[in-house]
Structure 1
Amino acid sequence: MKKIASYTILDDINIVTEYYNGGITIEDIIELKKRLFSEKLYNPKIQIIMDFRTANLLIKEPELILYTEFAKNKLNAISERKVAFLTNTPNEVVIGTLFEFVKKNLPMTTDVFSTLKAAALWLNLSYEEMVKVENTFNEFLK
């Protein structure tokens, strides 16, 4: 399985789509965030959908603390927003749930979903916006 950690900024609907495939480490996620935060179109209030449905997360609980420390040092790049985790395996659900516990003092609300439709509803996306997000995720698969 090819390793992918990529994103697309959909600034017209205030969404970042992050796509992960293959064996993903916390370092892969941090590197992606560093690239994202330096983008001209990025804004700290943008909502994020992180798609881990085809990823194998190689992350342990102590590494989540490493990520939250990275994020705390980037508070200028993070504001009040929602982050949706898309998963389809119990391991990723556990990671998303653990992240909820270690993200104290970060200005974001997170939740774990098994379908894009459920995540889109939580993020208050219209049907057309959800289709745009879905098409973006499909582009990562090509």
Structure 2
Amino acid sequence: MSDLRSRYKILKEHNLIVEFHSGNLDLDSFIDFKKRITSDPLYVPNLNYFVHLKNVTFTTINETEDDIFAYSKFITNNFNVYGNRRVALITNTPNQVVYTTIFKTMQENANQSVEIFSRYENATKWLGIDLELEKLIEVLLELKKLKEYHAFKKI
């Protein structure tokens, strides 16, 4: 069983999904999480994403490259579910930058624009959203404190 912990919050007024991930990122858990988001009553295609990966560990390069390719294919094959969107990947370490750069490169012809950031302000500016930094940090802290995905439904 994976130790990836993934939580999200849809900010409909900003056309945005804020995701917070921690632990070892593995393909099956990540795709399962993405599928669960689409069952949320607030979910609609074309939402932009702010994906916080600063607390994620990627595994060995060969396995992860295969996983990145498989995930890229999953996103491309599910265009009707995810639509056109912007995805801001928030990283902290050189290791995270390497893996997210591989993913970004694989998405060049896909239905999404992907950029990598270390600063929240730059990511929100690129996403084109008017969201105060304090509010974003509040959402991230709320997500970080949740014990599991289902706990968010009660908030």
Q: Structure 2 length as normaliser, TM-score?
A: 0.82
The Cα shift of 1:126 comes to: 2.2
Instruction: Report the equivalent of 1:108.
Output: 112
The Cα shift of 1:91 comes to: 1.3
2:134 to 122, 126, 131: 131
> Matches of residues 86-125 of structure 1 in structure 2 within 5 Å?
86-125=90-129
CA distance in 2, matches of 1:103, 1:141: 28
Structure 1: 5+ residue runs without aligned partners?
Answer: none
**Residue 64 (1) aligns with residue 68 (2):** yes
The Cα shift of 1:46 comes to: 0.6
Question: Secondary structure of the equivalent of 2:66?
Answer: helix
- Per-residue CA deviation, residues 75-132 of structure 1 (Å, 9 max, x unaligned), is 111222110000001111111111122225421100000011111111122253x432
CA distance in 1, matches of 2:33, 2:13: 21
Structure 2: 5+ residue runs without aligned partners?
Answer: 146-155
C-alpha RMSD over aligned residues: 1.6
Aligned residue-pair number: 140
- Give, as a single letter, the amino acid of the residue that structure 2 aligns with 1:69: K
Percent identity, please: 29
The Cα shift of 1:39 comes to: 1.7
CA distance in 2, matches of 1:123, 1:104: 17
Instruction: Report the equivalent of 1:7.
Output: 8
* Higher helix content, 1 or 2: 2
CA distance in 1, matches of 2:40, 2:74: 18
**Residue 27 (1) aligns with residue 6 (2):** no
CA distance in 2, matches of 1:90, 1:115: 14
CA distance in 2, matches of 1:73, 1:109: 16
CA distance in 1, matches of 2:144, 2:75: 28
* Contact 2:9 2:18 (8 Å CA) reproduced: yes
- Give, as a single letter, the amino acid of the residue that structure 2 aligns with 1:39: D
Q: 1:109 to 1:33 in 2, by over 3 A?
A: same
CA distance in 1, matches of 2:98, 2:130: 28
